[in-house]
Amino acid sequence: MSDAYKKAGVDINAGYEVLKTVKEMSGNAQLGAFGGAFPLSDAPDAPVLVAGTDGVGTKLLVAIAAKQHTTIGIDLVAMCVNDILAQGAQPQFFLDYLGLGHTDQARVKAILQGVVTGCEQAGTALIGGETAEMPDMYGQDHYDLAGFAVGVATRADLLQPENVQAGDVLIGLPSNGLHANGFSLVRDILFKQHDFALDHIFPSLGHELQTELLRPTKIYVASVLPLLKQKLVASIAHITGGGLIENVARALPTGLAAHFQMGSWPIPAIMPLLADLGQLTTTDVRNTFNLGLGMVLVVHPEQVAAVKATLTTQQQPFYEVGQVTTGSTPVVFEEAAHA
């Protein structure tokens, strides 16, 4: 667990304990996957609905402070549909929930325009939602967002950690910066430990801080769906809260380990900048941020060429970032060799 993240107010382990409790209460051992699966019948070829729900977290506070609300809805859609995609399903429809202290028509329109844009990028229908004005719940300028998405797949098409084998190759799809995770720590470092303004320009970034922080989460549906239809992927990890370590581990069976070769992909400048400013340990960074990979595909060696060709056709950048081996530590980082 990231000690720095806990000091910033987020206890990831407490969240895991809540999940454990819910599993025990519900009797559903499958809870904790990227999406929840619900088969429509017991028939082997019956459609399976895959659902996911999520929010945007305290990245909203950056959007509110910057008075920039046009892309935060993309984050909301992305967090839900990317999880569904990681289960091997095609997202079908989406609903949003917006709770706010005051209904400012221009701001609501900007927020929902981002949701619409995200649904367009995901090829997903926006079929409804809820806007609730609650002045005693939220401050005048504050709001919260939640989303709910449903996808569909056949039972045979669902991706399972058990599909993974030793020798499989890890293909990383680059993130668009921080996406929507780790922002309680990000805000703690930039605005509490330090007092940077949102329009501050760091030389390593080359643009205003708010521009960097509000980069919308990449939606991978258009790039990855063709791979799923060709059955070219064994497992997928969507890199959200918990960073590479926790999320990649969810895509692997017990006894196998993902070995990442550091230096095989670029890390966005914002992450080493935050590490330096916040005096973060390597473990802090790897447990909190995506390190520049928004999604990791686990691919059998004989299918790597086809995966790379399809991603190239989709104009989706990618990196071969490691491989799967036997081992008891689910995620291992191997440092690049010095010349």
Q: What is the pLDDT of residue 45?
A: 82
Instruction: Name the region of 181 (left: φ>0; alpha: ψ -120 to 50; beta: rest).
Output: beta
Query: How many Å apart are CA 85 and CA 90, to the nearest integer?
Result: 6
Q: How many CB atoms lie within 10 A of CB 322?
A: 25
Q: Is the pLDDT of residue 331 over 90?
A: yes
Q: Per-residue pLDDT tens for 281-327? A: 999 999 999 999 999 999 999 999 999 999 999 999 999 999 999 99
> At residue 127, does pLDDT exceed 70?
yes
The pLDDT confidence band at residue 43, using thresholds 50, 70 and 90, is confident
Tell me what the pLDDT averaged over the chain comes to. 92
Class of domain 33-155: alpha beta
Asked if pLDDT for residue 223 goes beyond 70, the answer is: yes
Distance CA 121, CA 311 (A): 16
- CB of 75 within 8 A of CB of 213? no
Q: Which residues of 36-53 are buried (b: 16+ CB within 10 A; e: fewer)?
A: bbeeeeeeeeebbbbbbb
Does position 176 have pLDDT exceeding 50, yes or no? yes
Of all residues in the chain, what percent carry a pLDDT higher than 70? 90
- Distance separating alpha carbons of residues 77 and 80, to the nearest angstrom: 5
* CA nearest neighbour of 233 among 164, 146, 323, 155: 164
Q: 3: pLDDT confidence band, cut at 50, 70 and 90?
A: confident
Q: What is the pLDDT of residue 213?
A: 98
Ordered by start, the domain boundaries in the chain are 33-155, 162-334
Q: How confident is the model at residue 44 (pLDDT cuts 50, 70, 90)?
A: confident
Confidence of residue 339 (pLDDT cuts 50, 70, 90): very low
Which amino acid, one-letter code, is at 27? G
Q: Which has more confidence, 109 or 336?
A: 109
- pLDDT category at 79 given cuts 50, 70, 90 is very high
pLDDT > 80? residue 152: yes
Residue 15: the pLDDT is 53
- CATH T-level topology, domain 162-334: Phosphoribosyl-aminoimidazole Synthetase; Chain A, domain 2 (3.90.650)
pTM for the whole structure: 0.91
User: CA 290 to CA 284: how far, in whole Å?
Assistant: 11
Task: Write out pLDDT tens, residues 7-34.
Answer: 666 655 555 555 455 455 455 556 557 8
Which DSSP state fits 157? G
